[in-house]
Amino acid sequence: MKKTALVFLMALAVAGVTRADRTVNETRPLAADGRVEVSNISGEVKVIGWSGDGVAITGLLEDGVEELTISSGGNHLSIEVELERRTRNGGSAYLTIKVPKAASLDIETVSANISVDGVLGELDLESVSGQVEISGEARTVEASSVSGDVIATSTAGSSELESVSGNIIVRHASGRLDASVVSGNIEIEGGALDSFDGETVSGSIFCAAGPTDRGRFTIETMSGTIEMVVAPGINAEFSIETYSGSIKNDIGPSPKRTDDYGPGRELRFTAGSGGARISIESFSGSVKLRTN
């Protein structure tokens, strides 16, 4: 009797493990320039651009995930993780999705992290608290998180990155970049940008990327600090204004007061032959220009 009970319990345990560790291994056809939509609550969505045909989906569904719904039509594929109602906050899904390189993506998660590598179409990526990470030369990128970081590497098209309290980190980018946070920080390292619009309310901005020959940078903060690392030999017109912050310039003239009797500093100068335009403005945050 005891032996029978033990076997029964073992069978239940195995069933439980199986239930908790369901794996996904699916393929679906998709046009080379098709669009893939993914919706997941918790876990991870990892998308890789590949040269293969169609879409390959692998991964793991934890207990609490009701099902993975995959539906397609024409140029479009939809992948949706549905949780059991009783465990609305409990189940995580970890998905790795290979899509044609020229595909476009529309991904929405709650706490799941999103990473996209080597997909060249239009990327629309949104998470509430997860991290969003993009690598590769997508045509356009719109990526946002509320409290997670947004990290972009080697983007080349037009990128609009947003977070509220998370950080935006951009490495070796080119093309156009818009970055906006409230209390998070913005950090731009390497690369040459045609345009960069960066704004924070209380977060700091660190910019160690240069403008292209006719590049336009507009960098604004309310109370955060702005630090820009300027490459030797840069050709740019600088315009820097602050209401009550300080300006420190290691590469040219000193700032002037805008009012003899009140706060306000401004600094305008041309480095080299000009060409690019860099405008920096703060309310109370300090601004610093320095060389490497």
Within 13 Å of residue 187, how many CA atoms lie on the same side as its CB? Answer: 10
255 binding other proteins? (CB under 8 A)? yes
Q: Is the CB of 144 or the CB of 154 nearer to other proteins? A: 144
Q: Is 251 in the site for other proteins (CB under 8 A)?
A: no
Could you identify the residue written with the tokens 């699916």? 26
Q: At closest approach, how far in Å is the CB of 146 from other proteins?
A: 6
Is residue 269 a contact point for other proteins (CB under 8 A)? no
- Whether the CA torsion 43, 47, 48, 53 is positive or negative: it is positive
Query: Given the complex with other proteins, which of 128 and 208 has the nearer CB atom?
Result: 128
**Nearest CB to other proteins, comparing residues 101 and 162:** 162
288: three-class secondary structure by DSSP: strand
Stretch 186-225 residues interacting with other proteins (CB under 8 A): 199, 201-202, 220, 222-223
Determine, following the binding rule CB under 8 A, whether residue 243 of this chain makes contact with other proteins.
Answer: yes
CB of 7 to other proteins, least distance (A): 41
Number of residues that bind other proteins (CB under 8 A): 46
Applying CB under 8 A, among 20, 32, 128, 231 the residue interacting with other proteins is 128
Q: Which of residues 42-81 bind other proteins (CB under 8 A)?
A: none
110 binds other proteins (CB under 8 A): yes
- The one-character DSSP state at 253 is P
What is the contact surface with other proteins in residues (CB under 8 A)?
A: 39, 41, 88-89, 108-111, 128-129, 144, 146-147, 162, 164-165, 180, 182-183, 199, 201-202, 220, 222-223, 241, 243-248, 254-257, 260-265, 281, 283-284, 286
